Structure 1
Amino acid sequence: MTSAGKPGREVTVIAPSPVLRVVYWTGFPLAGAGVGWLLTWLASWAATLEWVPFQGPLRLLDSLADPLALAGALLLGGGAGLVVAYLGDRELLAVTVSGQEAVLGAGASARRVSRGEASAVFFDGKDLVVLDRSTAELARVKGDLGRRERAKVADAFRAHGWPWHAEGDPHRPAYRRWVEDMPELSASAHALFRARQRALERRDADDAAQLRAELGRLDLVVTDEGQRQFWRRADGGR
């Protein structure tokens, strides 16, 4: 969606699909409640099988009044679904673009970047990335976007004169895979890469993102392929 402001200051806003948000906030709680109901039924059935372990807890659950057990299971399952919906909703990316700046995300976590600072904009997997003039990362935000929304983001940046790169990071040939004790990297960089490798293996996205930022302070730009880390130096780190 594009809205006009002052002449020469038109703004394009790409918001998360309302349908997708409805699916998140209704589908996940309903699915959670369904899982809760299924577990209650399975517990009641398993309590009749002597060979199934944990017979004590199963019989205790089965001894509860059916309405009470069912209500508790539905509430717990629905609550878990609401948590999943909230986490998923946070991953939905909103983008506001003009010829002067872009706002990536919404609320307190939104990143504001200036057109004059940007040398490249592209998608790296699910992440929307903006590089600065030294080719270091100016911003990286995660967004679970469908093909149509990704196309709208690309069109918005192109329309407002940003250096959009449909093929991804224009500096990709410069990346090298991180290997333990590479002589080209300092001991502190290796320590950060090792910590980040553990975060990737734990699937701890927040810790991995923080460690990526720490590596950025060493003028190292990092991208991932699965749990493999690849790096290059920003121009400012040469």
Structure 2
Amino acid sequence: MRRRTERSPNKDGVTVLSEPAWRTACVYAVCTAAGAVLGLLAGPLADWLVTLPWAPMQGPAELAASVPAPWLLAAGTLAGLAVGFVAHFEQLSVRLADDRVVLARKGREHAYARADIASAFRDGKDLVLLGHDGGELFRQECGLDFGRVADAFTRHGYVWADADPHENEFRRWVPGLPGLPEGANAVLRAREAPLKEKGSDAEDVRELRDELARLGVVVRDEKRRQYVRTLPQAGPEPK
């Protein structure tokens, strides 16, 4: 089922969706506190490990035991801040206008003209944009409140689908699956191992997703298994 509303009255208005400042502050605070605690515990833990001849990593333990506690605390705090920065850097933000959508993550922006977007929807934790040929323009894990996302899309006049309109077309991929374009099985086979090891957000896994899209195959990952559907092949142009 799809829903749609009238466009925003302010045609020059832009809606920006990002993690609330309080949540980002909480991420930094939790990561920093956890790093500080680990820094405080590192010294006593290292002192204990060096008393155990059979314990692994004796060298690093002796090195940590020799570092003054304030330095370990500072190192742990900085490490926690770094983890918080990475978590913040990986958050998805959405900028919506009546004529285009801009999605930003990890310092990269992906812009899509309104005319190219057939619909948007939520698929598990992912935000997905579909093109008019049924292909996926964009798929990315989204930590934003999907109620806010849906309202923003519909307020700007985009079609928001309650579910993937092509959900029933997906088949679980197995090696040699028939009916796929030439070369698709080889790409899916190459994608299988890094998907299981690193997850669907790994760079090489995403690059192979893009390669499949060029071949006319849409892939969806569930529990690190691949499900695929093919795009309709355009027929010859009429003479």
**Class of the TM-score when normalised by the shorter of the 2 chains:** 0.7 to 0.9
Judged with a 3 Å threshold, the aligned counterparts in structure 2 of structure 1 residues 30 and 237 are, in CA distance, closer, same or farther, namely: farther
- Shift, 1:190, TM fit: 1.4
Letter in 1 for 2:162: A
- Contiguous gaps of at least 5 residues in structure 2: 1-7
Bigger relative CO (Cα 8 Å, ≥ 6 apart): 2
CA deviation vs aligned residue, 1:110-155 (integer Å, no higher than 9, x gap):
211122111120122222111111011112233222xxx2211110
Letter in 1 for 2:89: R
- Partner in structure 1 of residue 127 of structure 2: 128
Question: 1:173 aligned to 2:172?
Answer: no
Contact 2:90 2:105 in 1 (8 A): no
- Partner in structure 1 of residue 81 of structure 2: 82
Contact 1:127 1:140 in 2 (8 A): yes
Q: Choose between structure 1 and 2: higher helix proportion.
A: 1
Within-5 A mapping of 1:151-166:
151-166=147-162
Question: 1:40 aligned to 2:39?
Answer: no
Aligned length in residues: 226
- Shift, 1:55, TM fit: 4.7
Judged with a 3 Å threshold, the aligned counterparts in structure 2 of structure 1 residues 184 and 57 are, in CA distance, closer, same or farther, namely: same
Alignment partners' CA distance in 2, 1:61 and 1:104: 43
Aligned alpha-carbon RMSD (Å): 2.4
So what's the TM-score if we normalise by structure 1? Answer: 0.84
CA deviation vs aligned residue, 1:180-222 (integer Å, no higher than 9, x gap):
1112225521121112111111215222111111100001111
Contact 2:172 2:226 in 1 (8 A): yes
Of 188, 204, 213, the match for 1:193: 188
Alignment partners' CA distance in 1, 2:23 and 2:153: 23
CA deviation vs aligned residue, 1:19-54 (integer Å, no higher than 9, x gap):
111122232122112112212211112333455445
Q: Between the two proteins, what is the percent identity of the paired residues?
A: 36
Please state whether the residue corresponding to 1:9 is helix, strand or coil: coil
Judged with a 3 Å threshold, the aligned counterparts in structure 2 of structure 1 residues 107 and 61 are, in CA distance, closer, same or farther, namely: closer
- Partner in structure 1 of residue 140 of structure 2: 141
